Amino acid sequence: MSMTNFSGRLAVITGGGAGMGRELVRQLAAEGCHVAMCDLNEANMTETRELALADAPTGTRVSSHRCDVSEPDQIQAFRDAVLEAHETDHIHLLFNNAGIGGGGSFVKDPVASWEKTFNICWGGVYHCCRAFLPALLAADAGHIVNTSSINGFWASIGPQTPHTAYSAAKFAVKGFSEALITDLRINAPHIGVSVVMPGHIGTSIVANSGVVLGRSPEQMTSDEIGDLRDQLAATGLPVGNLPDDAIRELIRQRARDFRDNAPTSAAEAANVIIEGVRAGRWRILVGEDAGIVDHLVRSDPEAAYEPGFVTRMMEQGHLQQLMESTGSTTRSES
Ligand SMILES: NC(=O)c1ccc[n+]([C@@H]2O[C@H](COP(=O)([O-])OP(=O)(O)OC[C@H]3O[C@@H](n4cnc5c(N)ncnc54)[C@H](O)[C@@H]3O)[C@@H](O)[C@H]2O)c1
C-alpha cells in the first residue's frame, strides 16, 4: 500500500540543510506535509526552513534539529526532540538522506576519514531506522526512504580514483533496504521502503564533504596540499609547479563544476524521489545516467571495473563531468 497523499503527515529528513535534503523539505512542506529535519549546519537549516515555510500552506510545521547522524546518541536525542516538537508518538516518513563522499582509499587514507564516511553513509541510515522504527510502527502508514547511490551497485567513480568507504556504505544501504522489503511485509505491513540511487546530481556535496572531513581547501595544511599536488600530477595533470593557493582554487573549482554541470538538479531529484514514493516503488533510480550505469553493470558485470567501462559510458554522453570533477579523468583524456 503506497502513501499517495503527504498532507498532514510527518516526515523526518536527515541532511535537510542543503542539496536533495533541502529540496525534499521544501517540496514536502509545499504539499502541507509537516517536516522535522536534521543537519550539522544550523545556518543552512534555518535557510531551508524559511524557504519551505514561504511555499507551505498555513499550519505546516517545519522543525530543525542539530544532529550528527554518525553518532547514535545524537540520533536518539534527535528522535526524542522530533516527537516532542511535533507533540506526537509517531512519524509517517523517514528520509535517510544525509551523506558525504570520502574515505576513498582503504590503503592510503586515514582510518578516521574512512570510518567517518562509512558511519555517516551507512551508520546514519541504520541508526535512524532503529531509532525511528517505534514511531513508524505507531503510525497508521509509514515509509522509509534510504538514499544509496549508483555507487550502491557500481563501486567506482572511474579507474583512477579509489572509492571504498562510500561504495561499501552505499552497497550496505541498498542491501539493507532490499532485505527490509520482506521483513516489513511480514512484520510491519503498513510500512513501505524505497532505496534511492541517484546518478550525478548538482549539489555542493563535494565542498560539504570536505568541510565534514576537515579537508576543505581552507582547512588543508601545506603538507596535505603537497600530497594532493603529487596525486594530481601522477594522473597526468600539469600541476607540479602550481603554488598552494592555485591548488586550493582547483579544489574549489572542481566542487563548483560538480554542482553546476550536473545533468540533474537537486530539485528535479527530490521530485523524482517523492513521486517514486507516491507510486510505491521500492527502487528509485534518479537521472538518465543512473539508468545507463545500471543497465551497463547488469549487461556486463565482469567489465564493470575495467577502464573501457567508463569510456563506454562517456561515449554515450554520461558521467563526463562526474569523472572530471572527482579527478577520475581530464577533458584531454576523453
Ligand atoms: N550529489 C550526487 O551526485 C549524489 C549522487 C548519489 C547519491 N548522493 C547521496 O544523496 C544524499 C544527499 O546528498 P547531496 O548531494 O544532496 O549532498 P549535500 O552535501 O548537498 O547535502 C547533504 C547534507 O547532509 C548533511 N550532512 C553531512 N553529514 C552529516 C551528518 N553526519 N549528520 C547530519 N547531516 C549531515 C550536510 O551538512 C548537507 O547539508 C547523500 O546521501 C549522498 O551520498 C548524492
**Cα–Cα distance measured from residue 128 to residue 12, given in angstroms and rounded to the nearest whole number:** 10
The span from the CA of 259 to the CA of 261, in Å, is 6
Residue-wise pLDDT tens digits, 253-284: 999 999 999 999 999 999 999 999 999 999 99
Query: At 246, which amino acid appears?
Result: A
- Ligand 1 binding pocket mutation candidate from 25, 128, 208, 272 (most atoms within 8 A of CB): 208
Indicate left, alpha or beta for 236 from its phi (over 0: left) and psi (-120 to 50: alpha): left
| Residue nearest (by alpha carbon) to ligand 1 atom 40 | 99
Report the nearest-CA residue for atom 34 of ligand 1: 39
* Phi-psi label, residue 271: left if phi above 0, alpha if psi -120 to 50, beta otherwise: alpha
- CB of 104 closer than 8 Å to CB of 161: yes
CA of 327 to the centre of ligand 1 (A): 19
Is the model's pTM score more than 0.85?
yes
Enter the C-alpha cell of residue 11: 516526515
276-315 per-position pLDDT tens digit: 999 999 999 999 999 999 999 999 999 999 989 998 888 8
- Residue 332, pLDDT > 60, answer no
- Distance, in Å, from the CA atom of 124 to the CA atom of 299, rounded to the nearest integer, reads 32
Measured CA to CA, the distance from residue 251 to residue 253 in angstroms comes to: 5
List domains and CATH numbers for the chain. 10-203+262-319 (3.40.50.720), 206-261 (no CATH)
Q: Which residue lies with its CA nearest to atom 1 of ligand 1?
A: 201
- Express as a percent the part of the chain with pLDDT over 90: 88
Which among 55, 2, 68 is positioned nearest to 29, based on CA atoms? Answer: 55
Residue 326: what pLDDT? 72
Per-residue pLDDT tens digits for 70-126: 999 999 999 999 999 999 999 999 999 999 999 999 999 999 999 999 999 999 999
Query: 302: phi > 0 → left, psi -120 to 50 → alpha, else beta; which?
Result: alpha
Which residues' Cβ are closer than 6 Å to ligand 1?
A: 14-15, 17-21, 38-41, 44, 67-70, 97-100, 120, 147, 149, 198, 200-201, 203-205, 208, 212, 266
Alpha-carbon distance of 162 to 328, in angstroms, equals 9
Sole residue written with cell 525511528: 132
Q: Whose CA is nearest to atom 24 of ligand 1?
A: 15
Mutational test site, ligand 1, from 20, 70, 95, 325, max ligand atoms within 8 Å of CB = 20
